[in-house]
Amino acid sequence: MATKSNVSQPNLANWCRGEGLDQAHAILVLGVSEEEEISTVEETLEQVKTLGKVRVRGKMFDANNQTLTMLCECRQEVDPTKVPPEVISVKEGSKWKLVVAEQETNSDLFTEKLDRFLHDEGKTLEDVKRLCDPSTSWNSNPESIIRAVGDVLQSKPNESNSYRRFRIFSGVHPTPPGEDNLDSWLEQVKFMSDEYECSDKEKRRRIIESLKGPALEIIQAVRMSNPMANHMDYLQALESTFGTSESGEELYLTFRTMHQRQGECLSNFLLRLERLLNKVVQKGGLQVDEANKARLEQLIKGATESDFMLLQLGLRDKRNDPPTFLSLLKEIREEEEKTLYLLQVVLQAHFGLSILYLFYPIG
């Protein structure tokens, strides 16, 4: 069996990292003469069939023994139990020592894989340990661990049933039919991501399946540069790429110039105000505790086609104690419904009178 790496030898892990090698495919050869050809070292190691094709990737001089230590890359993954402690050169008959990395135990591998799996599912090893049989120590009873993992995963909601698909976003401008613009898409994704409890892996999957075109290309670039990126990293990348570059102060100036469009009902105008106001607050253009006052003031100032409704609601008298967005929206919609009902009654009465005049003309 090959010698395990120790402090008296070059650190295999550090050397592999410096050379960009996978440690599982690396092996050290000690005691090689300075005159030895690299091809001889490679040919000698290839006699160990479990290593496959071998290439020398680095050399280091050992001053104590006046020999070289060589770092080699093997095509096959190195199994320490199948690598001899020494090999004999195919040409000169010299003996060279072999050093391999310590093999992880099955327990270590199991724990590492379990930890990675639970992380993807939004759980931790502590969640599992709490459900293990208290009479058995961690890792000593596989059945207890498997049962605990099952209990942890059963406690998670059925993501496929509770999490509906996001709408499509491509980043193409103007927005194609059947797709969302960035603001609408981000609004529903952020809301649903906060509303439903599921793993970050599931959130990333849902986001990716709703993207196409340039937007999908941005996320592919994010994944390549940062494989550990979470779903919020995805959203921030899309927002910085396709969103506005205006500062919070610039957005607030735009907010203060918003006006009701011709034919637009007051509740829809309020919704437009709220979308921009949220961006202003997010970018630091306005403090959160000032939002209610700013919303009401701009609603009064910009509602050029709803003077009568503003009077009916008495909104100008509420400036000192402005209502929240939801409270304001509720008041306005109730008043709109009341106004619509009265209008229908008037039209019906007028229409009925017209019919009567047809059948019973005056004079």
Distance CA 218, CA 236 (A): 11
Please state, in angstroms and as integers, the Cα–Cα distance from residue 11 to each residue in 50, 67, 355, following that order: 23, 17, 100
Kindly report the average pLDDT of the chain as a whole number: 80
- Is the pLDDT at 262 greater than 60, yes or no? yes
Domain ranges of the chain: 12-99, 182-242, 248-334
Which of 19 and 170 is assigned the larger pLDDT?
170
Q: How confident is the model at residue 8 (pLDDT cuts 50, 70, 90)?
A: very low
Max mean pLDDT among 189-203, 253-267, 335-349 falls in 253-267
Select from 3.30.43, 1.10.490, 2.30.29, 3.30.70 the CATH code of 12-99.
3.30.70
Q: pLDDT per residue over 38-93, tens digit each? A: 999 999 999 988 899 999 999 998 888 899 999 999 998 888 888 899 999 988 78
Q: How confident is the model at residue 322 (pLDDT cuts 50, 70, 90)?
A: very high
- Is the pLDDT at 216 greater than 70, yes or no? yes
Distance CA 54, CA 26 (A): 9
Which of 246 and 175 is assigned the larger pLDDT?
175
pLDDT score recorded for residue 251: 86
Q: How confident is the model at residue 28 (pLDDT cuts 50, 70, 90)?
A: very high
Report the chain's terminal Cα–Cα distance, integer Å: 121
Q: How confident is the model at residue 96 (pLDDT cuts 50, 70, 90)?
A: very high
Which DSSP string do the residues of 235-273 spell out, in sequence order? HHHHHHHHS----HHHHHHHHTT--PPTT--HHHHHHHH
List the one residue out of 66, 14, 59, 18 whose CA is nearest residue 41: 59
* Mean pLDDT within 174-200: 83
Distance CA 83, CA 132 (A): 38
Please state, in angstroms and as integers, the Cα–Cα distance from residue 6 to each residue in 3, 23, 282, following that order: 9, 15, 54
Position 189, amino acid: V
- Is the pLDDT at 326 greater than 50, yes or no? yes
329-337 CB contacts, 8 Å cutoff, 24+ apart: 329/267, 329/270, 329/271, 332/266, 332/267, 332/270, 333/267, 335/309, 336/265, 336/266, 336/267, 336/309
Q: How confident is the model at residue 355 (pLDDT cuts 50, 70, 90)?
A: very low
Distance CA 87, CA 73 (A): 16
pLDDT score recorded for residue 170: 92
